[in-house]
Every structure is written in structure tokens, then in C-alpha cells.
Amino acid sequence: MSRLLISAAHKSSGKTTVSIGLCAAFRARGTKVQPFKKGPDYIDPMWLSVASGRPCRNLDFFMMGQDEIVAEFQRHSAGADVSLIEGNKGLYDGLNLDGSNSNAALARLLQAPVVLVIDARGMTRGIAPLILGYQAFDRNINIAGVILNNLGGARHESKLRAVIEHYTDVPVIGAVHHDKRLEIVERHLGLMPSNETEAATLRVNEIGAVVGAQVDLDKLLEIAALAPRLPAPAHPSAEALTPALLPKVRIGWAKDKAFGFYYADDIDALRAAGAELVPLDTLHDPHLPEVDGLFIGGGFPELFMNELEANTTLREEIGSAIENGMPVYAECGGLMYLARSLTWHGEKRNMVGVIPGDVMMHEKPVGRGYVRLNETGENPWVTAAGPSSVTELRGHEFHYSSLDNLDTGRLKYAYEVKRGHGIDGRHDGIVYKNLLASYAHLRSLGNYNWAARFVAFVRSNAQGADKPVDGGTLRHDRAA
């Protein structure tokens, strides 16, 4: 199983752009490449998915056990010629002092050779001690090559190659010169999501052509092929744990420019649990389709708040469906959309209005990083899936918004926040009727398969849809 991990000396070294370029370049020459991303991230995987033509998968020590990481890696690598793992931050960076959740730890777990992307702007002879230091820090990590990035020209490249060849035994696999064509527009949450630009494929192909012409792709494949065979996985995937042969349910899936933050494994788990996912464009679809439930993920609703407000009929139908008892799960951006209003840069727009609070955007993050949550027992999904044996849920949050003027008299909370911010620093997971909306992003994994629990809850409600709930049925049907 050929594989390699693309890392860097520090964040903002260009490893994401290089990784996107490598995936696109491999794909252009007919090499099947399976991308992975370390840590919690939606935006980089979007670009890597476009570049490779295969859904990018996330590997995360905080939310996954080591056996589960290996199992997921092997399952999704099957059928690929090479697997490319993009790290986060620097090679040795991580939460813990011992580096147990660093990129290096992931490389060691998956026995993957490391290719280091080095932003070499302004560097000449000083690049040698940098490489030597990274080698010496952990001799168990195989730094199999470097890709020099942001070079000033041919003369700069020649000097760097001579220094590295003289002082180190690490081969230079590529030298990418500074090029405006490699720039991807940045936003406050990172790189601009590929689902927001119709020109994403053209941009990715251009990046692939530039990177592919300056990196030795054959040498990379040789390095990847030297990775040793991994042991058989000992941990079943979340998808394998879901029940089979159960009645299908239709779940509306908000998937458009405003809402695009979804983990591929979560989507797989929803389908494996028996969900037929019905795409919903919150910006343009005038009506809610006939569905049994609704899933609204994260995204950038603030960037499209004019269009969201203008789609009055859909907002009203979603609000009515929730009031009538439709099961709905909303994460972060979805929570913002379901609130009364959204204010950004002094402009205020009306949203769905079922959450009795107003969203205010801020210049700095309100909640950022990993979260630990305890269930309060108010989660409506428990009624269908049974109580969870998990005492602590793990997830992540990254939001620049707060939920203000909240009418707490109407609400219950599904989670008690042990680490993170959530709604107010103490609670997250607003529960209203059959709605659960939180700032926290969960992952459907073996220890807590939220997708199976949600689908089971939707199914149990759909089976009782003939019973009125607040004057309506659980399935939203405009023809009824």
C-alpha cells in the first residue's frame, strides 16, 4: 500500500497548495491517488477531493483511536495507486508535550515516509541545519525528501540544492518557484471552500500543472512504494457497525455555497444507516422537498445572508416543518441559519427563526479548537437509539459568531461543555422539539455513531407520521 505524508516545518509553508497540486498532477497522468487530511478540517479536504477525484478522509487522534485510524486508512486506500496524507501545522506540532498526536505520530502509526515542504523564502545555507534538526529530533521518522517552496528563481534554487546535497542526505524532490497562479483566496476560516467557486476545477488543474512540472512525481511514487505493509485492521469502521436491511428514510441535505462542511465518513455512515440523502439548495430551492428529516451542516451563511433571507418560502417551510416535529440536525452554520437573525458588518438579515436568538458575527473566533461534551439526556435521538454508553463526546468548533438575546425559557440543551465554548461556555446542543442544533461538529465514529442514532430517530418518527404532531406530520409534503 503506497503512501506518503506531506508535512512542513511550520504552518503556512504551502503544504496544502503543494498537496492539491500533487493530487491533481497524479490524477492528470492517470495515477489513482487517495487523499487524507490530518486533524479537524473541512476546507482543505474539499480542495483535495476536487484535485484527486476521490473524497478526502480525515484522520484525527483526538476523535479516533489508533486502531480506528489504521482501519479507516486501509479501507479508503483500497483501490488507489498511492495515498497522500496532508498534515496540519508543522511535522512535530500537536496538542501534547510528548507529540502523541502530532503529524510525526501519524507518520509513525501508518509507517508513512514523510516529504517535508519548506518555505525557503530568504533562505540559503540556513536550510541545512533546519533539515538536520528535523531529522535528529526523532530518528524513527523517515524524512524521505523535501519539496522547496516559494523560491525566488533558478539561482536561488541552485544554491539551495547545493547546500542540501552537501550537508544532508535528504533528496530534493521538487522546487516550486513563487507563482501567483498558486494562490488560493484566503478567508477567516482558512482557504476559500472549493464549493463556492465554479472555477475550482480549473484552478486545481492549473495548480496541478504548475506543481507537477516542478516536482519529480516518479520519485515520489518510488518513495511511497517503500512504505512497509500495514497489519490487518483490528477496529471496524463506523459504517460497518450500522444495521442493515432497515426501511429507508429521506433526509434533506443542505448542500450549496452557504453550507458545505461535511465529513465524507459522516455522509457514508448516514447512507449505511438507511438514509436517502436529498440535496437541498438553501439559496435557490423555493420549497422543501418531501423528506422525513433534515441535516444542515456548517459553512459560511454570513457570506450569503442576503440570498438566504430572500428565499422566504423555503425559510418558512423549514420553520413550519420543525414546529410540526420534523427531526433536524444542524451544526454551526446550520444553527446560525435557524436563528432569528444574522448580523455581519452592521447588516442584519432575517433567518428561519425557530431558534429564539440572534447571531452576531465577530472579528475574532468565539469558539475555536477541540471540544469535550457530556450528554445531558435531552438529546431527542436517545429515544430511538437507546442511551449512549459514551460518557464523553469529542468534537471540534470553529466559529466567529455568538448567539445573543437567547430566550432560554423555550430551550433545553443536549450537551454540557467540558472543554470549548459552545453556546455560552457551559452549554451546547440546543434542543427544541425534534431539532438538535449545536456549534460543535461531531464525527460519526465507532465509539459514537451519531449518524446511525439520527437516522434511527428519523425512522421512528417517520413510522409514526400518521400521528399528528402539533397539527402536522413528520414528513414534509407540500402536496399533502
Rounded to whole angstroms, the Cα distance separating 46 from 58 reads: 11
**Alpha carbon 24 to chain centroid, angstroms:** 20
- Under a CB-based contact definition with an 8 Å cutoff, are residues 28 and 208 in contact? yes
The verdict on whether 332 is a catalytic residue reads yes
Please state the separation of Cα 346 from the chain's center in Å.
29
- Per the DSSP assignment, residues forming a β-bridge with 118 are 148
CA angle 49, 51, 54 (to 5 degrees): 40
Q: Can you tell me the distance from the alpha carbon of 382 to that of 385, in angstroms, rounded to the nearest whole number?
A: 5
Closest CA to 114 of 98, 138, 150: 138
Helices and strands (DSSP H and E) totals, the chain: 14, 24
How many degrees, rounded to 5, is the angle at CA 433 between CA 427 and CA 439?
A: 35
In sequence order, what are the beta bridge partners of 441?
A: 396
Q: Return the closest-CA partner of residue 423 out of 433, 434, 437.
A: 437
DSSP 174: E
In the beta sheet, which residues pair with residue 402? 360
What are residue 334's phi and psi, to 5 degrees?
A: -65, -40
Nearest-angstrom CA–CA distance, 187 and 361: 14
C-alpha 104/C-alpha 231 separation (Å) is 19
Q: What are phi and psi for residue 442, nearest 5 degrees?
A: -100, 165
Q: Which of 200, 215, 332, 442 is catalytic?
A: 332
CB 401, CB 358: distance < 8 Å? no
What residue type is assigned to position 110 of the chain? L
Residues 146, 172: contact at Cβ < 8 Å?
A: yes
Which residues does residue 347 pair with via DSSP β-bridges, in sequence order?
A: 344
H/E stretch holding 413 reads strand 412-419
**Catalytic positions, please?**
332
